[in-house]
Amino acid sequence: MYIEYRIYDTTSNLKEAKELSDSIFNKYSATKVTPEFDSAKPVFSVIIIKNKESIGYIDLRNKIEDKFNGNVEVDVGILPEYRNKGYGKMLVAKLLEEVKVFQEIKKIYWTYKNTNLASKTLAEISGFKNKIDLDENQTQLIFKNNY
Ligand SMILES: CC(C)(COP(=O)(O)OP(=O)(O)OC[C@H]1O[C@@H](n2cnc3c(N)ncnc32)[C@H](O)[C@@H]1OP(=O)(O)O)[C@@H](O)C(=O)NCCC(=O)NCCS
């Protein structure tokens, strides 16, 4: 198995990262979280590539649009045919390892729908904590980037 990662931070081409993540996302055409979140700019992205094919992405986006205050929100997706094979876990681990040096990113929020067991499990096993019930349908977890 040949896995590579492409990492985008504020010094690299986040527009390219957004296009890549959108193209992966569009392939499985799920519904985006909210229009505001969708238009928020990614500040950090990792793409996972298997045998030269981009199979998944994780973006960190400004939690409050236009105003970076160290709080970011996760958007993650793996192409359907590659799910439940450990790629999501590898991708999140890579993101958390790479983001360590970006101490301006303080808290990473992960919001999942309570029916989305894959998202919930992935967040929990990746070390996201401090569960908050946003409403009866959605839960939020936080990862503190303070090493
Ligand atoms: C959520 C998502 C990114 C997970 O990626 P993935 O590559 O399938 O996850 P992994 O294979 O690494 O699995 C991670 C953990 O979740 C568990 N898991 C995966 N799919 C699951 C499912 N459908 N139901 C229950 N548990 C599941 C795995 O068993 C694993 O836990 P373990 O290590 O304890 O066994 C992927 O399912 C996806 O792209 N979903 C659609 C988009 C989405 O919902 N994104 C999240 C919105 S924030």
Spell out the domain ranges in the chain.
3-144
- Closest CA to ligand 1's atom 18: 118
**Model pTM score:** 0.90
Which residues of the chain are under the pLDDT cut of 70? Answer: 27-40, 65-66, 147
Let me know: does 5 contact 49? Beta carbons within 8 Å: yes
List the structure tokens of 27: 């392939």
Q: In what order do the strands lie in the sheet with 42-50?
A: 3-8, 42-50, 53-62, 71-78, 107-113, 138-144, 129-133
What pLDDT digit, counting tens, does each position of 63-105 carry? 776 677 889 999 999 999 999 999 999 999 999 999 998 888 9
6 lines ligand 1 (CB under 6 A): no
Cα(22)–Cα(12) distance, integer angstroms: 17
User: 3-144: what CATH class?
Assistant: alpha beta
Cα(113)–Cα(99) distance, integer angstroms: 25
How many Å lie between the centroid of ligand 1 and the Cα of residue 101?
Answer: 26
- Closest CA to ligand 1's atom 5: 88
